[in-house]
Every structure is written in C-alpha cells, then in structure tokens.
Structure 1
Amino acid sequence: MRDPDNAVSGLVEGPVVQAGSVHGNVYLTGPVPLTVVPAQLSTPPTGFAGRDAELVRMDEVLRDGGVAVLKGPGGVGKTALALHWLDRGRERFPDGQLHADLALPSGEPVAPEDVLGQFLRALGVPAAQVPSGLAERTALYRSVTTGKALAVLLDDAVSAAQARVLTPVSGTTVVTTRRALLGLLAGGAEIVTVEPLPVEPALALLRARLGGERVAAEPDAASDLVRFCGGLPIALCVAAARAVARPHRSLARLVAELSDERARLDGLSTEGDLSVRSTLDAAYDDLPADLRRLYRALGLHPGDGFGPEVAAAMLPLDVSAAQAGLDALVDASLAEELDEGSYRLHELVRVHARGRTLDEDGEEERAHIVRRAARWYLHAAHRANRVVMPARGIICSVPEPADFTWPQVFSAHAPALDWLSGHRATLLALTREALHRSWPRLAYELADALQPLLILHKHREDAVASSELGLRAAESTGDATARDRMRKRLARALVAHGDWAAAQEHAVDLLDSSRIRGDRRGEAGALKTLGLVALARGDLADAVTSFQETAEILRSLGRRRSEGLVLINLSEALVRLDRHRSAIEQARRARQLLSALDDPDPYNVARAVAVLGQAHLAEGGISEARPLLEQALTTFARLGSGHERAGAHRLLAQLARRIGDEEQARSHEDLARKLLATRSW
C-alpha cells in the first residue's frame, strides 16, 4: 500500500492537524506563557562601603525612573554600587529585574539583538514568538515593557547605541561603563561618576574581608595595602583574598610582595574575573594606536596634575592633539580630569602604563620622553619664578625650545605660585630621575628652580631633599661654583630643619674652601650661614659678628640685594639682644637697598619692613610699628607666604597686648595658628 500524501496546500498560520478521520472534539492551544517574574540580579557583594554620595546621586536621578550611567575605571566597583542600590529598592520593581553583561571577556560588544532575545524570553514571550531581527525585537521589547515597573542593569556597556535599544519604555535602567556614552546622555540619561574609594571606606572593605582583628593588628600594613591598591575595590578584594588564603602570613609580607611595581599588577590579579591587569589590558587594547602611544608616555610622567602642554612636549604633539588625546583617555576611564587643563592617572593605571612602555618602547625612546618632560618643567618653573621672584637669578644652560607651549597661568603672581606649589612633587621627582639617568646639569638646574617656592612656603623637608640632590648633581658636573652654591643652600635648609650640627659642618668647610680659593662671595655666603646657625642656637653675639662681616664683604663687592638680605638677619639678631636702635638702623638700610633694586623684590622688602616694625615694637614705638607690620602682612598675603604672614600676625598680637586689646591679640594668634597648621614645614 502506498503512504498517504502528508502535504498542506496554501498559506496556513497557527497549529495544523491532519488526520484521516477524527472522532470527538479537537482542542488547539498555543504555548503556555511564562508566569515567573524575572529576578536576574545577583546579591550585592559583601564589604560595600564609602558610596554615600553616589547613592544619594542615584536616588536623585532615579527617583521617578529613568536612566543612570555609572561611569568609572574598570574595577572601581560600578556593578557593586548598582547592585547595592537596586537591592535596597527591590519593592519598587514588582515586574522584575533584568541583567546583562554587554561586553565579552575579549572586550568585544555583545550583540544587542541577542540580549533582547534573552530579555523577551525572561519577560514571558515564548521563544517561537521572538522575532529574528533587531528592529522587530526592539519594537516587541518596547511593547512588552510599556507600563512595567522594571529594573534593568546593563553592565559594561560598549556604546550608547547598544545600551539605548535595551532601555525599557518604563521602569529604571542602570548602565555601567568605562566609556563616555554621550548618546545616552544626550537622550536624557544622567551620569554618576564612580571614583576609587577613599582611605577609610577602603579599610572598611578590608575589615569586611579579613576581619577587624587582623586589620587592627597591622594598621600600617593595612594602610599600605590600601595605598598600593589605589582604592580600587577589585584590587582590594584580590589583596584580601591572598591574605585570607594565607592566614598565617603577615599583611606586611603581602605589602612587601606588592612593593615592586612591575610585579604589583600580577599580584593583584587572579584567574577569572578578579584581575586588575586583564581589566586594564582590555581598556588599553580598545585604544587606537595614537592613544596607546600617549598612554604609554604618560606612564613615564612622575606625578599628578599634568596638562596637555607637557603631554605635547613629551611625544611631541600639537597641543590640540594632546588635549584631544587626554580627553579621549578620560572618556575611556584611563585618566581623570582634576580641573580644567589638569589630568592624572590612577596609581594602578600609571603602573600599568609604565609597564606597557617598558614592554613596547625602547630605552632610548623612553629616555627621550623623560628628558623632554624634565626640560619642559624646568622652563615652566623658570617662567613661574620670573613672576614669583623676579629679582632672583635664573640658572639654565639650555635655551627654551621653540616647540614648547605653556599654560596661561604665568602672567600673575598668585596663579604662578599655585602652579609651582601644585607641581612641587613632580619637580622633585624629575630632579631625582635626572640624577638617576646621569643628567647632572639638568638635575642641578631643576633643584635650583624649586627654591622660590621652598622659600615662600617653607617646605623644609623638601628643601633639604632638593638641596642634597642638587649638591650631588653639582659634584657630578665638576662645577665648583655650582657645588658651593648647593652646599650653602643645603646648610641653610638644615638650619631651618633644626639640624644645626650638620649645617655648621657644611658652613665651616665652605668657609675654608672659599678662603683658599680667594672667593669673597663664597666666603660671605659661608659666614652668613654660620650666622644663621648661631642665631638658631641663640648665640646672638656670634650671629651679629658673622652677619656684620658678611655685610662688609657684600658691600665691598657691590652686591646690594645680598647685603640687604643679610641686614635683615642682622636686625633680627639685634632685636633679640635688645639693641633696638641699631636694629632699626639696619632694617631701614635693608629696606632702602631692596626697594632700590632694578628687579623688584617685594617679598624681601616686606621682610625688611616686618623686622623694622618688630624693632620699633621692641623699643616701644607702637605708632611706628603698627603701619609697618600691617604693610608687611598685606604684602605677605598677596605673595602667598603663609609662614611670614603668620609671623606678622604674631607681632601684631604682641602689639595688641601692649595696648590692652586682648580680643585683637587672640584674633591675630588664631590666624597665625591656622596659617601654620595648613603648611607642611
């Protein structure tokens, strides 16, 4: 017998039943709809801390639904923040929670149509009824989600277009990304910036993972762990996991293992998702070639707070290209914009960038980049110093390169001084680097360029450090004048630091060598330094003798500015010896000399005015002292010299007590204490 023909002709939609004969009723039904409410969000990780400001911001942005974009570097805890916020508000989403990772482990984006298919099926759409095309799936997703109280978490979004089609019509969407999803922001989404954890929340995370007792037993090591991890939760979690796996090992041992920069990223990475290196590698691999080159170069920059001008000098690039590159690195969450025109790399990002340049660039190329950076900072410091202390000489053996460009901050005293202050650590680090790379002349000139800032702000430890570096550099050059200049500076820094014995030793050796060479100016510098040591020790008679001999030599050499400076010191010593009339005469002479200079020296003129006011006050001349001290205070405030300003306030406090105004005296004393408390001597 031949098989019956099992064919259907025409267009048919829906179920079809073919039978030779049917007895009874036939019931046709479609697939049973899914009634389970999707709950795809995982439990928030333990140890969550330090995100109060971000949670408040999310409350504001998502009060009535909408889209929040959590942007920050890889491993900063964006997903943990999103899960924590969504978990505490689960009752707001009775229609379910959806979650999708939008990037593959390779960094490639997940196709949005694949995620839409998963979401539609989770929302109860039968698999057979899920359309095959992106447009159809998008339209159905919008229809299904209309009127729903949903929460959708889109993790690691690669593009705005990818995230946009996955945003439901109703409900709340949280997108995490390390990229600038400008298309989402233009469409009404609001950004929540997620930065590394501050110290205390980072320690709280460690305590949650390690236990409070273990952290309390080694507080210094725990603090070092936080510093090495740079506040990145992913790094902190890996460090904690390593410590948990070795409960009998100290945290100090783990810190020692992480102290090597080249090994640090591997030490903060594990197999699987918890890998600082793979997180940064993925971000780096996403960059085009020109941005990778800029990123590697910035890994050689020794400090925070670099601008497009120095980035342009390092490669070199046009400044506009450097600016665009820095903005692109910010968009990729590999750099942070501190302020307009100022950027930095997170500590672990800097370690990663430095590792990349060590792996991919030759030593000659790296040295060229560092040298150009050092020269740029040297000439930038000179430009600032000409504004901050125009009377002070500039030491520079290399002309300013024509292709360097400069920030617009060197036209006035306050911004120029702020620039020097903000780049103090960078200048000091570059001095060390130049000496390490056997560029002694450059190291010497960088150390010298730091002096105006160190004079005004009295960073005493840095003054000693920079002078020691400068002295080593000067000795390497074989330049006796440079060596003596730095030795004198080191001795005076040691006086201010309280190491009088070492200062005296340097000064005596400098005096002997100067006299042997017949160097009268060097002799004067050594004598003045010995006077400063004596003044600090309270040997006032010896101080007066040394300052007087110094002044005589400088007067014979026609060094008017230097003579004026030592007369300020002489007047101070005479005031303390109660020789008030002589102190007034010397202070007046100092003020006259310094005021008549061709290049203005307002800082030292103010010092002369202050000591003149002090001498009048000591003699009882209240009416003469007040205007002088107030004039000096105004100048010190304008020049940003907190230490000298505090001294003027204390003298005005003495004056107020002399006339019985105790309230005014307390006010001046309080101002002096606040000024001194804000500085690191």
Structure 2
Amino acid sequence: VCIRDRAPTVPPPYQLPADIPDFTGRTEAVAALTRALSAQERRPDGPPSIAVVVGPPGVGKSALAVHCAHAVRAGYPAGQLHLCLGGTDPAPADPAELLAEALRALGVGDSALPHTLHERAALYRSLLAERPMLVFLDDAADAAQVRALLPGNGCAVLVTSRRRITELPGTLLLELDVLPETEAEQLLARIVGPQRLAGERPAALAILDACGHLPLAIRVAGARLAGRPGWPLSVLQQRLADASTRLDELRAGDLEVRGSFERSTRKLTGEAATTFRALGLLGPVSLPGWVADAVLDRDRAEAVVDSLVDANLLRLAGTDALGQPRYQLHDLLRCEARQGAGGEAERQALARVLGGWTSAAEHATARLPTTLFSLTPEEPARWSLPGETLGRLTADPLSWFDAERESLVEAVRLAADTGLATSAWGLAAALVPYFDLHCRLDEWQLTHRVALDSARAAGDRRGEAAMLRGLGQVCLYQDRYAEAEDMLRRARAIFHELGDTRGEAISICGLGAASQFSGGHLRALGFFRHALAMFLAVGDQNGEAYARQAIGRVYLSLQDLRQASRWLGEALRLARELGDAHREGCVSMQLGRLYDLKAETDEALRCQGRALDIFETLGDRHCGAYAMQSLGGLQAARGDRSDGSHRLQASLAIFQQLGDRSGEASTFQTLGELYRSAGRTALASHYLHRAVELRRELRAGAGQR
C-alpha cells in the first residue's frame, strides 16, 4: 500500500472529546501528565512519549486524560487521535480494527486498508513518522492491545486503563486515587452550587463520605441534587446512609456507579470472583494477604490477590509494622462485592477467615505477659494459619495486635452480624489480655457487648457467661462496682449450671474484687478463699497464684500484716515456680505496700523497683505505671522529692495516654500531697483539685451507665 493512496484533502484529525468544564483539583497529577506530554519534553526524532493513567472504576482517569490532552494539544499541530479500546467491554476492541479506524482518520480509504495487523501497524507508523501527533488510547485492556497502537518517533501516547499496565518501556505510570476531602467538596460545589453546599455543609460532607470521595459517585450525587433544586441535601444523605441500597441511589440518567463497577467485576472468574465477593463481607478495614488463603482454603493465594490489585478492584493500602502488605476495598466497591455474596460458599469462606483471626489471636495472646482468666470456646477454630506463618506473624505479639486491632474488632462485629456466635465470642475473649495491657476499655466493652448479644441469640450459654465475666471486669476497672457485681453473679450462675468449675472460680474472683474495692473486705476474703479452693480442685496453678495474691491484698487492706506477708509470700513462690513473671511483678507491688506499712522503706523501694523492672521488660506500660506511681510516692515520702516527682509525672503521662482516669486521679492526689508537704501551696491545690474533679466525673459516669 502506498502512502500516496491517502486522499490529499483529508484534514488532520482533531478527535479529542470535549474538555471537562468543571474539572476540579488533581493539581499534581495534571502537572506530571502535561509535563510528560509537552512538546518541550519530546524529541522530534525520539521514541514516543508514553503516559499511562490507571486507577479503579469511577476515579476519573478519562476526565484527567481529556483535560490534560487539551492542555497540550497546541504542541501537536498534526492532530490528535482518540481511540476507545473497550477494555471493560465483554470483548475488548481488536487492535486490527482499531488500526483501521485510525488509518481512516488519517485519510486511508477502505479499499487501501491492508489486511493484516502487521501491515496496518506498519502503515500507521509510516503515516505518523515525523508528524507530531497525540494519540489518546482510552480504556485499554492490557499492554498487548496498546503495543499494537504505538506510533513512531516524535509522537506522544496517552493511555487510560483500569489495569496496571507496567510492561511498556519508558512509560510514566500515574495511579489515581479518590479525591482528597477539599477537592471532593469543591467538585460537588461546582455541580450543585457553592451557596447550597455551604448552607448544609454537614450533610454535604456525609454525602461525600458515602460516595467514598470517588469522582464518578460525586458527579452522580451532584447530578441528582442539581436535578432536584428543592431537595435539602439531607434527603440524599439519608438515602445514601444504607450501604445495601447505596449503589441503587447513585444513578442519574446514563451516569451509574454500579454499571461502571460491573464492567470490571464481570470479568472476574473463579477464585478471583470468590475472593472479591468474600472481601466485600469483611468490613472497611485493611486486611493482610493471608485472608485470601482462608477464603480459598489453600496456601499461598498471593496470585489471586495480585490479580485483583492489577485490576484496580483491590487497593494496596500500604505495609504494616510487621512488614505485611495491607489490602483494602473502596467502600463502594465493597457494596458491589456484597451484592453477590449471600451464598453458603461465602459464609463458609467467612467462617474460615474468622477462624484464622481467632487462631492467630489465641496464638499471640499465649505470648503476652499475662493470659490470666482466658476463656475460649471448647471447639477449635474452623481454619488456622500454618504454624510457620503463625509463629512469624506473632513473634512480637504486641506489634501483631497493634497492626491488626481494627481488623480484629471489625471481625468480632462481622461474626456476630452473620450469626457465627462462637467465632464472635471466642475472638472477643482472645482479645482481652491485649485490651487489658493497653487499657482499651472501650473496644473491650464494644466487642463483648456485640458478642454477648450474639451468644444469647444463638443460645450459647458458655459464650454468654464468658462475655458477662469480661464485661464485669471492665466495670471493675471503671469503678462501677454494682454493675460489675451484677454481671459477675450472672456469669457465675451460668458457669455453675454448665459445671465449668474454672469459669465459676474466675467469676468469683471478680466478685471478690468488686467487694474489696467497694469496702467489703471480709466478704471479699470469703470470695477469694472459695475461688482458691476451686482452682485447687481443677489444678489451675495460675488461678491459685492469683487467689493467694488477692487474699494477701485483702489482709493488707485489713492491716493484718502477718497474714498478708504469709499469703503474698506463697503467691510469690508459686509465681516464680510457674515462671509467671507478670504475676511476680503484681505480687512484688503488694509486697512493696506491705513493707511500706511496716516502715521498712528500703525493702519497699526494692520491691516496687523490682515490679517496675518486670513490667518494663514485659512491655506492660499499664501495670508499669502503677509500679512507677508507687515507687515515686515512696521516694517522695523518703525525702527524695525530685526523683519522686519525676516518676509520678511519668506515671501520670502514661495513665493519660492509656485513658486510665482512675490511675490519673490517684496520681494527681499523690502529687498534690507531695507539693503540699513541700510548701508549694498553689501547685498542690491545682493537683488536689484535679483529683477531686476526676473522681467526681468517674462517679457521675458510673451513675449514667
């Protein structure tokens, strides 16, 4: 085919779609793209400049590309070609047909079109040789489709795709994410009007959150509002609040979020489709890659995860402190995934994922400084991570819990919502030692209340008792002793009914603590002695060590120093025999109190210092703060006000960080007394006043619950 077969009168093609009149934001992306495509960056005899814009459906790839193409079109006087590659269609466009379309635009008649793909590509490159043209390839399926359409030297190529196309050499790859809040708000304001938006800004922000800051969703929401000027924004806000119908609402004329998503999701097959649907059930949190192993019930499913990432249906959300990649679905894609995830296969996949969380949490809990009073389901988890993986992930258990905390809390809620009661309460119970170490009482209470409701609905009496016991402990920490006693009595009764001696003994220990802290020392002594007998009967030596310490603590409160010394000594001996360093630290704190009451200050300081060393070694900042508070008080009382004040201030900072207001109040009290004895009246008054205020707030909070 000769080039002279072209019709000489055909004008250069100027095929760019119209620019976006309300294009908003993307400043850095626009700068990078226009710089890559500008005439100044392109050598007339150099290879074509290639820029690829990728991202999930609805993120605004084509809008950005069109906007930037218009910004640089003056540098391409020979014209601009626009080809739609149909990458999201059931059958993407054939490169040979696309080349025919391009050649026609360049003036080649149908009779002159070569027959083969190779011949058409050669003619296409010849026609564009040394003619600076911009070739816009929209919605590419993959690199192979694009490669056939690359022009010769001196041109530029702009590609959009939902897939991460990384195989083309010398390419600028620009990955788009959702809009930041400011730009999302600006886009909605440009569509519906800034005054209307300003008048209902809270509703507008809620709409943007429901849209997940996805540009297509914002445009659809804006179009609906623009078409209904009489609507308050709160009407659409309420309609978008229900995630199960949100995609139904995000439709306006031919603009439709679900349709855009379906063009990608319908291409998923087999394991990728199963994984996508299951991930939709797992909530808004980021997830580790092993979740796909659980979904598919096989090892090493990384390739499936990678395929979803490459299709921009799953986002790589970063790397956690353990070095694990984290993955996350966009909120609206999660709504799409959930639509087809109601079958038994997805329920079984969910049960396996929850089993993985539970087994990992139990494994990590076993490595924490203290696991006292752990109560777990008798039936094993339905799926467990391989032993090597478990060991690697939980080698540093606190770091693992820190990395997975949000996912674990969400998993408890998810298990409860889907009727997997045993998974819900088993996971909630496994989280208790971690919550205890970090004083995360709100999450402790949340997970236990959710799991308690689930256990009751399923008639799971052991789960109900375990969650009541855990909630009773939270109430103890919050000085809500009447509530604590009520929950602990109910837990005890259920454990007794089930013949679970250990569970009953654990509940009785809680009743003893509630009695002691509310002033009923003799009653507390009875509870602890009863619990001790039960621990001895079932051979629970850890429970025995706790009960002996608790009895010694009561005798300390009763000022019976001889009996306190006896019981605390027995508890210390047993803790050391068991290698339970945390229990040794707790007993050492009580022995410090004992020696202080005996006016043996040096020994008291030694015991409190030993306790602090133990807790710091174990990484228990919470108990460490109490040891530090006791040590600081002893130092100050001995006359070392500087070191004492320093330790008290350090313990106060930890209590404030952890949200332990009771510990905070007692430290304020000790500091106030320290400064009063030093004659610093104003500072003493400040600290003592704060102690009184905090205790009043604690009593008021307990009364409102």
TM-score of the superposed pair, with normalisation by structure 2: 0.74
Residue identity opposite 2:277 in structure 1: R
**Which of 161, 177, 194 in structure 2 is aligned with 1:177?**
161
**Which of 209, 229, 233 in structure 2 is aligned with 1:227?**
209
* Residue 160 (structure 1) shift: 0.8
Question: Relative to structure 1, is the Cα distance of residues 615 and 127 closer, same or farther in structure 2, using a 3 angstrom cutoff?
Answer: farther
Provide the C-alpha distance between the structure 1 equivalents of 2:382 and 2:630, rounded to a whole number of angstroms: 47
- Quote the residue 1:264 is aligned against: 246
Q: Judge conservation of contact 2:140–2:160 (CA < 8 Å) in 1.
A: yes
Q: Judge conservation of contact 2:53–2:159 (CA < 8 Å) in 1.
A: yes
Q: Judge conservation of contact 2:55–2:162 (CA < 8 Å) in 1.
A: yes
**Which of 22, 36, 43 in structure 2 is aligned with 1:46?**
22
Q: Judge conservation of contact 2:62–2:160 (CA < 8 Å) in 1.
A: yes
Question: Relative to structure 1, is the Cα distance of residues 151 and 604 closer, same or farther in structure 2, using a 3 angstrom cutoff?
Answer: farther
Provide the C-alpha distance between the structure 1 equivalents of 2:552 and 2:136, rounded to a whole number of angstroms: 72
- 2:355 is the alignment partner of 1:375: yes
TM-score of the superposed pair, with normalisation by structure 1: 0.76
Provide the C-alpha distance between the structure 2 equivalents of 1:390 and 1:530, rounded to a whole number of angstroms: 20
- Quote the residue 2:672 is aligned against: none
- Quote the residue 1:344 is aligned against: 328
- 2:322 is the alignment partner of 1:329: no
Q: Judge conservation of contact 1:68–1:191 (CA < 8 Å) in 2.
A: yes
Residue identity opposite 1:596 in structure 2: E
Provide the C-alpha distance between the structure 2 equivalents of 1:44 and 1:126, rounded to a whole number of angstroms: 31
Question: Relative to structure 1, is the Cα distance of residues 233 and 611 closer, same or farther in structure 2, using a 3 angstrom cutoff?
Answer: farther
Provide the C-alpha distance between the structure 1 equivalents of 2:16 and 2:565, rounded to a whole number of angstroms: 82
Question: Relative to structure 1, is the Cα distance of residues 394 and 614 closer, same or farther in structure 2, using a 3 angstrom cutoff?
Answer: same
- 2:379 is the alignment partner of 1:398: yes
Structure 1 segment 137-536 matched on structure 2, within 5 A: 137-147=120-130, 150-168=133-151, 169-184=153-168, 187-272=169-254, 274-302=255-283, 304-307=285-288, 309-316=290-297, 318-320=298-300, 322-338=301-317, 339=319, 340=324, 342-358=326-342, 363-388=343-368, 391-392=371-372, 393=374, 395-399=376-380, 405=386, 408-411=389-392, 413=394, 415-436=396-417, 438-475=419-456, 482-496=463-477, 500-507=481-488, 525-526=506-507, 528-530=509-511, 532-533=513-514
Q: Judge conservation of contact 1:649–1:671 (CA < 8 Å) in 2.
A: no
Question: Relative to structure 1, is the Cα distance of residues 110 and 314 closer, same or farther in structure 2, using a 3 angstrom cutoff?
Answer: closer
Question: Relative to structure 1, is the Cα distance of residues 612 and 90 closer, same or farther in structure 2, using a 3 angstrom cutoff?
Answer: farther
- Quote the residue 1:9 is aligned against: none
* Residue 77 (structure 1) shift: 1.8
- Quote the residue 1:81 is aligned against: 64
Residue identity opposite 1:373 in structure 2: V
Provide the C-alpha distance between the structure 2 equivalents of 1:497 and 1:48, rounded to a whole number of angstroms: 50
Provide the C-alpha distance between the structure 2 equivalents of 1:126 and 1:428, rounded to a whole number of angstroms: 64
Q: Judge conservation of contact 2:491–2:504 (CA < 8 Å) in 1.
A: yes
* Residue 412 (structure 1) shift: 6.6
Question: Relative to structure 1, is the Cα distance of residues 671 and 131 closer, same or farther in structure 2, using a 3 angstrom cutoff?
Answer: farther
Q: Judge conservation of contact 1:291–1:325 (CA < 8 Å) in 2.
A: yes
Residue identity opposite 1:270 in structure 2: A
Q: Judge conservation of contact 2:277–2:346 (CA < 8 Å) in 1.
A: no
Q: Judge conservation of contact 1:447–1:469 (CA < 8 Å) in 2.
A: no
* Residue 79 (structure 1) shift: 2.3
**1:8-31, CA deviations, whole angstroms, 9 ceiling, x for partnerless residues?**
xxxx9989xxxxxxxxxxxxx973
Provide the C-alpha distance between the structure 2 equivalents of 1:48 and 1:611, rounded to a whole number of angstroms: 64
Provide the C-alpha distance between the structure 1 equivalents of 2:325 and 2:631, rounded to a whole number of angstroms: 40
Q: Judge conservation of contact 1:73–1:333 (CA < 8 Å) in 2.
A: yes
**1:425-467, CA deviations, whole angstroms, 9 ceiling, x for partnerless residues?**
5544554454555554444333322323322333322212332
- Quote the residue 2:697 is aligned against: none
- Quote the residue 2:530 is aligned against: 553
Residue identity opposite 2:533 in structure 1: S
**1:361-407, CA deviations, whole angstroms, 9 ceiling, x for partnerless residues?**
xx444433333333343333333333336855562333466886467
Q: Judge conservation of contact 1:629–1:651 (CA < 8 Å) in 2.
A: no
* Residue 157 (structure 1) shift: 0.7
Q: Judge conservation of contact 1:632–1:648 (CA < 8 Å) in 2.
A: no
Consecutive unaligned residues of structure 2, counting only runs of 5 or more, are 43-48, 664-705
- SS of equivalent residue, structure 1 residue 596: helix
Structure 1 vs Structure 2 CA RMSD: 4.7
Provide the C-alpha distance between the structure 2 equivalents of 1:13 and 1:401, rounded to a whole number of angstroms: 69
Provide the C-alpha distance between the structure 1 equivalents of 2:367 and 2:476, rounded to a whole number of angstroms: 27
* Residue 478 (structure 1) shift: 5.8
User: 475-484 vs 187-196, which deviates more?
Assistant: 475-484
- 2:91 is the alignment partner of 1:108: yes
**1:279-322, CA deviations, whole angstroms, 9 ceiling, x for partnerless residues?**
11111222234432333333333464445544343344x324x3
Aligned residues between the structures? 635
Residue identity opposite 2:438 in structure 1: H
Q: Judge conservation of contact 1:614–1:629 (CA < 8 Å) in 2.
A: no
**1:120-156, CA deviations, whole angstroms, 9 ceiling, x for partnerless residues?**
566x656589744543443344345455555443221
Provide the C-alpha distance between the structure 2 equivalents of 1:230 and 1:443, rounded to a whole number of angstroms: 28
* Residue 349 (structure 1) shift: 1.6
Residue identity opposite 1:343 in structure 2: Y
- SS of equivalent residue, structure 2 residue 173: strand
Q: Judge conservation of contact 1:647–1:672 (CA < 8 Å) in 2.
A: no
Provide the C-alpha distance between the structure 2 equivalents of 1:603 and 1:201, rounded to a whole number of angstroms: 51
* Residue 162 (structure 1) shift: 1.8
- Quote the residue 1:24 is aligned against: none
User: 291-300 vs 261-270, which deviates more?
Assistant: 291-300
Percent identity between the two aligned chains: 26
* Residue 261 (structure 1) shift: 3.2
Provide the C-alpha distance between the structure 1 equivalents of 2:563 and 2:21, rounded to a whole number of angstroms: 74
Provide the C-alpha distance between the structure 1 equivalents of 2:460 and 2:102, rounded to a whole number of angstroms: 75
* Residue 189 (structure 1) shift: 2.0
Provide the C-alpha distance between the structure 1 equivalents of 2:17 and 2:4, rounded to a whole number of angstroms: 36
